[in-house]
């Protein structure tokens, strides 16, 4: 199957547009595409008419141009026939927004759709989904544009069985300034599933990291997914639902998925180097660090701060994730101390964690970062920045990023995510150094680099 029409359409037909109800999902989608995106969009409804001074075509066959993507938001019982009409009209693929299939006890209707598509080699996403959000390209979500939080263009692909979880993740990605190459809600995944998307996204030059929210798999799909993830050549991050009996029941009623044995699936992911996130916040942290660095690291962390307490908290967080904070050799300590400013040199602790104290300046932080980056005893350096420290400036993010560019050892920063510190944060992000909003988040980012085999 050719998936390009699903993700790179130039022409889109929205089927099910209403002449009377502007809040109908098809109308919301049509209006957004017509007003916001650079695709050519056509409205389809058997009753005809017009919308936004544009014609509503009675059928897909009446649309005057070849259609790459059909977005179907009609009643479930009409969808199989609509798929047949799309295939006959030469449409490239479809997103089926409509619900009312296997998730509500009508598997025969979904199977009929599946047979139609398979026989024609016709790809469709869904049913029971939001479809695709492609930054600056197009958006099939039936959510009003003014309410949808849209991440910027980036290199993380986000695939989710749940539309609601996907939208929540987009909010968190935006808050963390992590950009997306594409976001896909696959719903019941009757035809296009996680394995198909792994294949497609592994070849997508705009995608560096592939992340999934997974509720369940069909028979024998779970192990195949993990094996494919290991060999796809890009970092894969998974957030799995259905870990408990209650979660399994909820998954089954949501998208008619088989949740399977979570403990076994989790162990298999770990064995194959797939990074499992335990919650939504971990998923964002992992994706950010893996989108910045494509290099697997060991478990030896260096830590720099202007606060001994922050260094202790980071050390505990590292230990909880089986990462070491080794004491630096005397020669490395002496070299770092020698290059610190006179006001800090006699009071700083440089054993690791490096506590520069509240008297530190930008130069002290840069010298310490360079010293730790050159140490063969460390695999990654955590930079715990407190922007309210009087000797530190908002230029420090950019200056520390230059240390990574010179030395090549991964740096991960913690900076409180407040608007007044935006310049400091941007100094890191513009230079592809990940920035966490918490100490725990910074440690999670390092942990992702340690656990991922595809870096």
CATH for 16: 3.40.50.720
Q: Which of 230, 261, 292 corresponds to the end of one domain?
A: 292
- The total number of structural domains that make up the chain: 3
Name every residue whose Cβ is closer than 8 Å to that of residue 151 and which is 6 or more positions away in sequence: 135, 170, 173, 174, 178, 179, 180, 183
Q: Is residue 120 located within the same domain as residue 266? A: no
Residue that is written with structure tokens 């989710």 in the block: 160
pLDDT band at 260 (very low <50, low <70, confident <90, very high): low
Q: Is residue 305 located within the same domain as residue 335? A: yes
Q: Is residue 92 located within the same domain as residue 159? A: no
pLDDT band at 253 (very low <50, low <70, confident <90, very high): very low
Q: Over the chain, what is the mean pLDDT?
A: 93
Q: Is residue 109 located within the same domain as residue 4? A: yes
**Per-residue pLDDT averaged across 297-325, rounded?**
97
Q: Is residue 306 located within the same domain as residue 445? A: yes
Q: Give me 170's structure tokens.
A: 């987009």
Q: Is residue 419 located within the same domain as residue 311? A: yes
Q: Give me 212's structure tokens.
A: 């999934």
Residue 137 lies in a domain: no
What is the tens place of the pLDDT at every residue in 407-416? Answer: 999 999 999 9
Q: Is the model's pLDDT at 455 over the cut of 70? A: no
Separation of alpha carbons 122 and 382, rounded Å: 48
Structural domain range at position 366: 296-451
Separation of alpha carbons 387 and 399, rounded Å: 14
Q: Is residue 322 located within the same domain as residue 431? A: yes
Angle (CA) 58 163 142, round 5°: 35
Residue 139 lies in a domain: no
**Per-residue pLDDT averaged across 48-54, rounded?**
94
Q: Is residue 214 located within the same domain as residue 266? A: yes
Q: Is the model's pLDDT at 295 over the cut of 90? A: no
């Amino acid at each position: 199957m050719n998936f390009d029409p699903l993700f790179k359409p130039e022409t889109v037909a929205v089927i099910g547009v209403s002449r009377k109800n502007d809040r109908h999902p098809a109308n919301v989608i049509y209006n957004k595409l017509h007003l916001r995106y650079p695709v050519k969009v056509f409205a389809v409804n058997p009753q005809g008419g017009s919308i936004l001074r544009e014609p509503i075509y009675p059928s897909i066959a009446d649309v005057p141009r070849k259609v790459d993507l059909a977005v179907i938001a009609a009643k479930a019982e009409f969808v199989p026939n609509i798929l047949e009409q799309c295939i006959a009209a030469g449409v490239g693929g479809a997103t089926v927004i409509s619900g009312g299939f296997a998730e509500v006890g009508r598997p025969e209707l979904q199977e009929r759709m599946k047979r139609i598509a398979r026989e024609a080699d016709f790809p469709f996403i869904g049913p029971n989904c939001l479809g695709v959000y492609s930054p600056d390209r197009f958006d099939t979500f039936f959510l009003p544009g003014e309410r949808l939080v849209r991440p910027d263009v980036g290199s993380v692909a986000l695939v989710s069985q749940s539309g609601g979880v996907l939208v929540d993740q987009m909010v968190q990605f935006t808050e963390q300034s992590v950009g997306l190459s594409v976001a896909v809600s696959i719903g019941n995944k009757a035809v296009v599933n996680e394995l198909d998307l792994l294949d497609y996204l592994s070849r997508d030059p705009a995608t560096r990291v592939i992340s999934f929210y997974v509720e369940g798999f069909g028979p024998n799909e779970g192990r195949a997914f993990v094996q494919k993830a290991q060999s796809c050549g890009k970092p894969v991050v998974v957030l799995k639902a259905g870990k408990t009996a209650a979660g399994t029941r909820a998954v089954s009623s949501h998208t008619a998925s088989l949740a399977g044995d979570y403990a076994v699936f989790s162990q298999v992911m770990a064995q194959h180097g797939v990074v499992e996130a335990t919650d939504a916040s971990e998923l964002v942290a992992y994706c950010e660090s893996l989108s910045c660095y494509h290099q697997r690291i060991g478990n030896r962390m260096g830590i720099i701060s202007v606060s001994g307490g922050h260094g202790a908290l980071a050390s505990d967080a590292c230990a909880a994730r089986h990462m070491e904070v080794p004491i630096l050799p005397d020669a490395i300590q002496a070299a770092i101390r020698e290059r610190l400013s006179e006001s800090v040199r006699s009071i700083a602790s440089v054993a690791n964690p490096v506590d520069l104290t509240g008297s530190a300046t930008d130069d002290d932080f840069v010298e310490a970062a360079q010293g730790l980056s050159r140490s063969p005893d460390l695999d990654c350096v955590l930079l715990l920045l407190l922007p309210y420290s009087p000797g530190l400036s908002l230029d420090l993010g950019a200056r520390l990023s230059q240390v990574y560019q010179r030395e090549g050892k991964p740096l991960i920063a913690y900076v409180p995510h407040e608007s007044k510190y935006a310049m400091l944060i941007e100094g890191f992000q513009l230079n592809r150094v990940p920035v966490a909003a918490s100490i725990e988040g910074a440690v999670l980012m390092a942990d992702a680099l340690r656990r991922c085999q595809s870096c």
